[in-house]
Structure 1
């Protein structure tokens, strides 16, 4: 089982993340200070670290710095109540793989975690997905259409990734909800349709075909 280390000293937030990640099928372990976070993360027993910046004993930036100086390549998603641009830049330049400002929706955290775990699974994993003029770099999170750069939100990125990993395959709304949003299908929800519409606006409507009564399929424009 994929196991995620959560370094968070606010009990309510830690419980919130732990409950959601366990429901999504992950194993979890919570620590509440930076020294414990460093010790556990350095053990090699975890697949990803969700790291709060404002930890006691050692802050998240220092934990990040020490881990990277030890040449640990554990994926790290940093979380903080501070949303200043300088903090985001400091985290990413310090070696964090992603950065979330509090408060955040659990679904957004889950999408970021899934994005960061997939390239790390196994050696030689694909880091660039391409199909019919679409290109998605999983490491830099950059997308392009026929050479033109496209800005995607975290959820749009995760949704496009699903389509690019299954080109020409019909993906049901239930499958997309489970893989991208991380919760069971709600027949009254139209969130998939909304985000497909967003992608069509950015990538071209002809690239995502509707399969009536089922879902959507990524096709090559003809």
Structure 2
């Protein structure tokens, strides 16, 4: 699971960063709102952790801008603001949760787990009446054929990325940036090979090739 963190308090930044990495999450983080906006316009994540009071562009306005671009990535605000007006505004502009400073890391973990549950970011995801994907085990279950199909780590990551962005056209660069964000990116032919395998497992109509652009995962 890929998490983006925006936090300008250096000590809290380091504490959250260390905690999330120890929990096995992939993390990208920054301390400035405009820098965060530039990153989020070009890379996709499974969850956003956004401090509100940061330099250049505050977390509220950042998420408001992303939602205007139809970015539905789940977001948790982290902030010292504690008025009911701020809380209401955070939810009105598309926030999924709101954690007030100071907080315990166990509370942060619980809120992340709740987001994962409600947005199907881990555990079993139903793809169709006969197909489901067990994220933690990297296994596709075909109930109709009574098959268990073991996917590679990269096949699983690509499938989960598609499932997190259904019916959206994703460019080849977007997919590469997110799946290989912390690794050396392969050639486009390697990506095509992974997607070819997924099509074979899921049915060729499930993933459309948008010529000259990228791919779209169809919820049919």
Partner of 1:38: 37
Q: CA RMSD in A?
A: 2.0
Partner of 2:26: 27
Kindly provide the CA deviation profile for residues 183-212 of structure 1, in whole angstroms up to 9, marking residues without a partner as x: xxxxxxxxxxxxxxxxxxxxxxxxxxxxxx
Partner of 2:150: none
Partner of 1:111: 110
Q: Does 1:63 align with 2:58?
A: no
Runs (4+) off by over 6 Å? none
Unaligned runs of 5+ in 1: 127-222
TM superposition shift of 1:119: 3.1
Unaligned runs of 5+ in 2: 127-220
Q: Specify the SS of the correspondent of 1:42.
A: helix
TM superposition shift of 1:85: 0.8
Q: Which stretch of the first structure deviates more once superposed, 108-117 or 95-104?
A: 108-117
Q: Specify the SS of the correspondent of 2:42.
A: coil
**TM-score normalised according to structure 2 size:** 0.53
Write the distance in 1 (CA, Å) between the matches of 2:120 and 2:60: 25
**TM-score normalised according to structure 1 size:** 0.53
TM superposition shift of 1:105: 0.5
Kindly provide the CA deviation profile for residues 4-59 of structure 1, in whole angstroms up to 9, marking residues without a partner as x: 11100111011111111111110111111111222222334311110000010001
Q: Does 1:91 align with 2:90?
A: yes
Number of aligned residues: 125
Write the distance in 2 (CA, Å) between the matches of 1:18 and 1:120: 22
**Counterparts of residues 1-222 of structure 1 (less than 5 Å):** 2-121=1-120
